[in-house]
């Protein structure tokens, strides 16, 4: 998924990550350039509203958020105005990645249903695409 983000130029300026071992491992495996990272206990098994509140405290232009299902799936669904036309968006499998753009100047201004989904992918598709290259 890190390769997918890099190929599209979607690299974060800041990372908000659950304190769980699994999310820390996922972050390391993404192989992204080092950026300021906040490990947030509030993201551990959080529900959508808790995740959104944590995101509202972000301070950089592009933020990578690593959390857990079911909250992360509910959060993505809540934030986008129109969900992507992808059969796996609703169930958001492990390591699914969604890029959402907001027309705001401050993260504190984000609201549900106002984000535009610029991309969504799951590991199986990204791996298959890499093998085809």
What is the predicted pLDDT for the residue at 14?
A: 97
| Nearby residues of 69 by Cβ (< 8 Å), 6 or more positions away | 92, 94
What's the whole-number mean pLDDT along residues 7-36? 96
CATH architecture for segment(s) 2-132: 3-Layer(aba) Sandwich (3.40)
The packing angle between helices 48-55 and 71-79, to 10°, is 70
What's the whole-number mean pLDDT along residues 84-92? 93
List the chain domain ranges.
2-132
Mean pLDDT score across all residues of the chain:
95
Q: Is the pLDDT of residue 40 over 90?
A: yes
Q: Is the pLDDT of residue 42 over 80?
A: yes
Q: Is the pLDDT of residue 131 over 90?
A: no
| Nearby residues of 40 by Cβ (< 8 Å), 6 or more positions away | 16, 17, 18, 19, 54
What is the predicted pLDDT for the residue at 132?
A: 63
What is the predicted pLDDT for the residue at 121?
A: 96
């Amino acid at each position: 998924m890190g390769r997918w983000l890099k190929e599209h130029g979607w690299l974060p300026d800041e990372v908000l990550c659950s304190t769980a071992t699994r999310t820390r491992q996922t972050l390391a495996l993404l192989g992204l350039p080092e950026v300021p990272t906040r490990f947030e206990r509030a993201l551990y098994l959080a529900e959508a509203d808790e995740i959104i509140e944590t995101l509202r405290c972000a301070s950089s232009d592009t933020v990578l958020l690593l959390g857990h299902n079911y909250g992360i799936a509910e959060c993505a669904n809540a934030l986008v105005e129109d969900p992507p036309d992808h059969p796996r968006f609703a169930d958001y499998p492990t390591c699914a990645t969604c890029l959402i753009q907001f027309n705001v100047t401050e993260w504190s201004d984000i609201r549900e249903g106002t984000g535009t989904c610029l991309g969504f992918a799951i590991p199986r598709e990204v791996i298959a695409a890499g093998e085809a290259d």
